[in-house]
Structure 1
Amino acid sequence: MTDETLTDVTVIGGGPVGMFTAFYSAMRNLSVQLVDSLPELGGQVAALYPEKPIHDIAGFVSGTGAELIANLKRQIDSFGDKIGVHTNEEVTGLERLDDGTFILRTAAREIHTRSVIVAIGSGAFSPRPLAIDYDREQLDGRKVFYFVKRLADFKGKTVAVAGGGDAAIDWALELEQIADKVVLIHRRDNFRALESSVTRLKESTVAILTPYKFTTVTGTPDGLHIELAKIKSDEVLDLDVDALLVNYGFTSDNHVLRDWGLPVKRGDLQVNEYLETDVPGIYGVGDAVNYPGKVKLISAGFGEVPRAVNHLAEQLYPDRKQPLHS
């Protein structure tokens, strides 16, 4: 189906930054289409950690990922049908026409748009697994977890958490409140996380095991048997737990950006100070982009949105002045 209406801006990506981009574009009275490949809006936040607290967004006090997405949905819904939302539609093609407009293609439609804002985050992603062989078919999703959909599933259990970054520490502190016991296992003595989170961790009841690496993970009738080896030592430690939560980060793939003919370096979209690529009319915001001083946080992505949208609006409608405040 071809949409004969010429849209001012089409946002590719329905995560938090993409959702805010659509909302802010509507605030500037631009016609907006939002396209996302997932069945529901929310991106990784909704799909992977809806119950994880988010601490680094101004004025959002320890709310969860699900709460953040619900708030962003309410913002979008406040504009009714002025924002066209198309979920479960993967962008399969992006073509620049001779007049400077674009045709964006999905399996369901073609959108004729004057500009595009790419907000696809890190693209396709998958969790980094434990670096040992174990029975993934039998244990993953039952006793070994890479995502937390329901925090209550761990209530009253003994839970091991693997990792040393922000996600591992945040989950360890959350699990401490409902689990019987939490053990955090990291292969280094130092953590790569916010200093305040590390301080909270050290003041908590979470048992910290460093520097240890996993050697075996075996399913038992009651849970898991884990064998650890201390780094640069002959010491071996055995643990019996109910569940293991692995937080080693994710591998990502933004190859679609190259497929669309966009400027990519080390997997990131390259943009200027206005978040515009070297293809006039195509912008990028959030974790999909890189530039000097870039910080990959949701809050930083939110801050990029007004820069991109206001510059875009000025290009489309030169008579419009940039708003001083909202």
Structure 2
Amino acid sequence: MSPTETSSVATVETDLIIIGAGPTGLFSAYYAGFRGLRVAMIDSLPELGGQISAMYPEKAILDVAGFPHVKGRDLVTGLVEQANTANPTYVLGRSAVSLSVDGDVVTVGLDDGTTVRGAAVLITAGIGKFSPRALPAADGWTGRGVEFFVPSFAPYADKDVVIVGGGDSAFDWAIHLEPIAKSVTLVHRRDAFRAHERSVERVRQSSVEIITRAEVSALRGQDCLEEVEVTVDGEATTRPAQAVVAALGFIADLGPMKEWGLQLEKRHVVVDSAMRTNLPRVFAAGDITEYPGKVRLIAVGFGEAATAVNNAAVAIDPSAHVFPGHSSEGS
């Protein structure tokens, strides 16, 4: 079976509405198909895969069960192939702006006037719309040598690259760019890093130069970036750079979801052990959820997806069972 995609300004009727087409959403679509449910998937991005497709398709992902090492784009390819077995209706490049529950019908309104109606909703939308945190010195340099994420490594071949940040993305990109760039320098304002210890140690053992208690204080060049100024403890030095990656994290914004009546905690949706929100027939799974002991990993999102879909199946059809049996049992 192949998926379908809606045209603009339409009415879509389905069983389960999934908001968010990242890894958790894609696995949710597959599992909903396994439960015999019709699925419609909404995402503001024009392609499937969520943040992985948009931000780091070439990045190696190491913490998904069964894959010692898998590129982001390859993981998404497999998830899409799996999701397509449910023959979902994809509603891409459009944002969910409203949600209402009337008895056993849930209605989601989109920003282009499209209406999607179903019997339950599963929110798997990461943690909202992202805006990159500012790098003051980079004002006016975006697209001229400064980027906020790395969808492809090829443009950085044989360049002097400066990465600003101390989190997982900064160190992951340093690891991947070191073999192809002329040089890689990582600049962070503190001595301590937020990145995984294994990644930090791997960078320390590479040719990447790490400068701490520092900031990129100026960028210079004619049409494109040529050099950066790095200030350490008040003393400025200049070094060649044709590329700066500002891996400073993102400011999360739930957007219209804040007005849907969901119980929120620190920009996350509160759920119970069945992935139910405080709204009837509305479930959530993945990074967007909050509950005691929550761990934000892709692998955790997959488990939450199965829990959410199985419980949504009962909300849609009270005669159904939460546990459907194992997929390996066959028929």
**TM-score normalised by L of structure 2:** 0.89
SS at match of 1:313: helix
Structure 1 stretch 197-206 or stretch 211-220: which is displaced more?
211-220
The CA RMSD over aligned residues, in Å, is: 1.9
Please state if 1:248 is matched with 2:253: no
- Which residue in the other structure is 1:219 paired with? 221
CA distance in 1, matches of 2:11, 2:223: 57
- Which residue in the other structure is 2:3 paired with? none
1:129-165 deviations in whole A, cap 9, x for unaligned? Answer: 21x344x33x212211112122111111111111111
1:240-259 deviations in whole A, cap 9, x for unaligned? Answer: 11211110000011032122
SS at match of 1:245: strand
1:5-48 deviations in whole A, cap 9, x for unaligned? Answer: 4x321101111111111111111111211111221111121112
Asked if the contact 1:158–1:182 (Cα under 8 Å) also holds between the matched residues in 2, the reply is yes
Please state if 1:297 is matched with 2:304: no
User: Please, which of 136, 155, 158 is the counterpart of residue 157 of structure 2?
Assistant: 155
User: Please, which of 78, 97, 112 is the counterpart of residue 92 of structure 1?
Assistant: 97
Identity of aligned residues (%): 37
Given residue 325 of structure 1, which amino acid in structure 2 is its aligned partner? H
Aligned length: 317
Please state if 1:316 is matched with 2:323: no
Please state if 1:23 is matched with 2:25: no
- Structure 2 unmatched runs, 5+: 1-8
Please state if 1:236 is matched with 2:236: yes
Given residue 160 of structure 2, which amino acid in structure 1 is its aligned partner? T
Asked if the contact 2:269–2:289 (Cα under 8 Å) also holds between the matched residues in 1, the reply is yes
CA distance in 2, matches of 1:296, 1:265: 15
- Which residue in the other structure is 1:172 paired with? 174
Closer, same or farther: CA 253–17 of 1 in aligned 2, 3 Å: same
Please state if 1:126 is matched with 2:128: no
Asked if the contact 1:185–1:210 (Cα under 8 Å) also holds between the matched residues in 2, the reply is yes
Structure 1 stretch 62-71 or stretch 283-292: which is displaced more?
62-71
User: Please, which of 82, 104, 108 is the counterpart of residue 104 of structure 1?
Assistant: 108
CA distance in 2, matches of 1:91, 1:244: 34
1:275-310 deviations in whole A, cap 9, x for unaligned? Answer: 101112100111222111112222221121111111
CA distance in 1, matches of 2:55, 2:208: 23
TM-aligned CA deviation for residue 222 of structure 1 = 7.1
User: Please, which of 60, 63, 78 is the counterpart of residue 67 of structure 2?
Assistant: 60
TM-aligned CA deviation for residue 77 of structure 1 = 2.1
TM-aligned CA deviation for residue 3 of structure 1 = 4.2
Structure 1 stretch 296-305 or stretch 273-282: which is displaced more?
296-305
- Structure 1 unmatched runs, 5+: none
TM-aligned CA deviation for residue 4 of structure 1 = 7.4
5 Å matches for 1:11-50?
11-50=18-57
CA distance in 1, matches of 2:316, 2:223: 64
Closer, same or farther: CA 4–11 of 1 in aligned 2, 3 Å: closer
CA distance in 2, matches of 1:65, 1:4: 30
Closer, same or farther: CA 4–290 of 1 in aligned 2, 3 Å: closer
Please state if 1:286 is matched with 2:286: yes
TM-aligned CA deviation for residue 206 of structure 1 = 1.0
CA distance in 1, matches of 2:62, 2:23: 15
Asked if the contact 1:158–1:181 (Cα under 8 Å) also holds between the matched residues in 2, the reply is yes
Asked if the contact 2:167–2:193 (Cα under 8 Å) also holds between the matched residues in 1, the reply is yes
CA distance in 1, matches of 2:209, 2:278: 50
CA distance in 2, matches of 1:159, 1:195: 22
Closer, same or farther: CA 241–2 of 1 in aligned 2, 3 Å: closer
TM-aligned CA deviation for residue 174 of structure 1 = 0.2
SS at match of 1:78: helix
Closer, same or farther: CA 217–104 of 1 in aligned 2, 3 Å: same
CA distance in 2, matches of 1:209, 1:2: 53
CA distance in 2, matches of 1:296, 1:25: 22
TM-aligned CA deviation for residue 261 of structure 1 = 2.2
